[in-house]
Amino acid sequence: MNRIRGLLRFLWDFVVGDDWRIAVAVTSALLVTLVLSNNGVTSWWLLPVAVAATLTASVCGAARNRRQSA
Amino acid sequence: MTGTQIGLVASVFIACTVEAVEALTIVLAVGATRSWRSAMIGLGVALAALAAVTAALGPALTELPINVLRAVVGGLLLTFGLQWLRKAILRAGGLKALHDEEATFTEQAELALAAGTVENGLDSYAFFVSFKGSFLEGLEVVFIALTFGSNQKDVPLAAAAATAAVLVVACAGFALKAPLARVPENTLKFVVGVMLTSFGLFWGSEGVHARWPGGETALLVVIPAVALFAIATIASLRRTLSAAAAVET
């Protein structure tokens, strides 16, 4: 049981990493892009916008946490 | 060689160089302090395990329909790339310690010495530390090489770039018998983060049926745009931190 838990933990750390919100944002943005594309809407811009917003939010969050813990 | 093939080779080679430098430091530390033979056996078993993972996953990935492959792999690459980029930005902004191979080597060597006496025959500590370090760093190499290779339908080219990087680092490391502290690892990690994020953006979007203006030539704009955005984020982070420090003092 501990080994399975360890493996799952490793896979989580490997794929998702320090900030799970990045994985959620990427998945959500891909799904919305898929829906827009399938309905004939030009959607190539959506993923870059989502990535820029997510990266900024994640870095700002890390900076805020560091300041609060200092 | 096309532009995307050059991008593939450069991304895989740089990413593999970074991971190989990290694995080499661990192998050198346990080899120098405990047992070269056991460290080398650990490294050899890790390489065999990585080859098995590649042989199992490689053909399976290339069998997937191209759009499914691009959506899944693009999404994974983007998540992975953003992690690298986030860490690189935090390091450059001073919020995370810079990766230092000499410090890692010293730390690993101290742990190895503290682990007790060296056994006759196979030293299990040296074997497992060498195996674990090489396997875990190698998994990232396999992941990057397979995702780039399968998306470009050119796994052999990606594998060749990965092998070349590992060989260059291994030859340099074992010739020097010291960690490759002069490799600008933090800068390379930033470059890898930019490349993984850029290719993840492109392939992820294409996989979910969005069409980039200009097709593959859009990458020539996407890669510098991601790099500039990351540099601007670092500059903004530094400004925010120094402003906060000025208020506190």
Q: Encode pLDDT of B130-151 as tens digits.
A: 898 889 888 888 888 888 888 7
Mean pLDDT of the B52-70 span: 80
Q: Which chain A positions have a beta carbon within 8 Å of B138's beta carbon?
A: none
Q: Which chain A positions have a beta carbon within 8 Å of B90's beta carbon?
A: 59, 62
Q: Is A63 on the interface with B (CB under 8 A)?
A: yes
Cβ neighbours of residue A29 closer than 8 Å, sequence gap 6 or more: A46, A47, A50, A51
Mark out the alpha helices in chain B (DSSP H runs).
Answer: 3-33, 36-63, 66-92, 101-114, 124-151, 155-176, 185-207, 219-248
Query: In whole angstroms, what is the distance from residue B40 CA to residue B50 CA?
Result: 15
Q: What is the pLDDT of residues B66-75, one digit of tens each?
A: 788 888 888 9
**What number is the ipTM of this complex?**
0.89
B210 → closest Cβ in A37, A51, A66: A37
pLDDT at residue A37, rounded to an integer: 93
Q: What is the pLDDT of residues B184-220, one digit of tens each?
A: 777 888 888 898 899 899 989 998 999 999 888 898 8
| Closest residue on chain A to B215 (Cα) | A44
Q: What is the pLDDT of residues A19-67, one digit of tens each?
A: 889 999 999 999 999 999 999 999 999 999 999 999 999 998 888 887 7
Query: In whole angstroms, what is the distance from residue B14 CA to residue A27 CA?
Result: 27
Q: Is A62 on the interface with B (CB under 8 A)?
A: yes
CA atoms within 13 A on the CB side of B4: 18
CB contact under 8 A, A33 and B208: yes
Distance from CA of B239 to the nearest CA of A (A): 12
For chain B, the domains span: 3-248
Mean pLDDT of the B22-48 span: 87
| Closest residue on chain B to A10 (Cα) | B136
What phi, psi does B64 have (nearest 5°)? -70, 150
Query: In whole angstroms, what is the distance from residue B46 CA to residue B49 CA?
Result: 5
CB contact under 8 A, A63 and B240: yes
Instruction: Report whether pLDDT(B162) > 80.
Output: yes
Determine contact, residues A58/A21, Cβ cutoff 8 Å.
Answer: yes
Amino acid at site A62: A
CB contact under 8 A, A55 and B211: no
| Closest residue on chain B to A18 (Cα) | B83
CB contact under 8 A, B87 and A47: no
Determine contact, residues B185/B21, Cβ cutoff 8 Å.
Answer: yes
Q: Is B241 on the interface with A (CB under 8 A)?
A: yes
CA B93 to chain centre: 20
| Closest residue on chain A to B89 (Cα) | A59
DSSP for residue A1 = -
Which residue shows structure tokens 């670092």? B234
- pTM of structure: 0.80
Which residue shows structure tokens 């506190």? B248
Which residue shows structure tokens 């890390």? A62
Amino acid at site B221: V
Distances in Å between the Cα of A61 and the Cα atoms of A24, A67, B66, B235 are: 16, 10, 36, 16
Q: DSSP assignment of A34-70, as one string? A: HHHHHTT---TTHHHHHHHHHHHHHHHHHHHHHHHH-
pLDDT at residue A5, rounded to an integer: 82
Which tokens in the block code for residue B188?
């390379």
pLDDT at residue B126, rounded to an integer: 85
CB contact under 8 A, A22 and B209: no
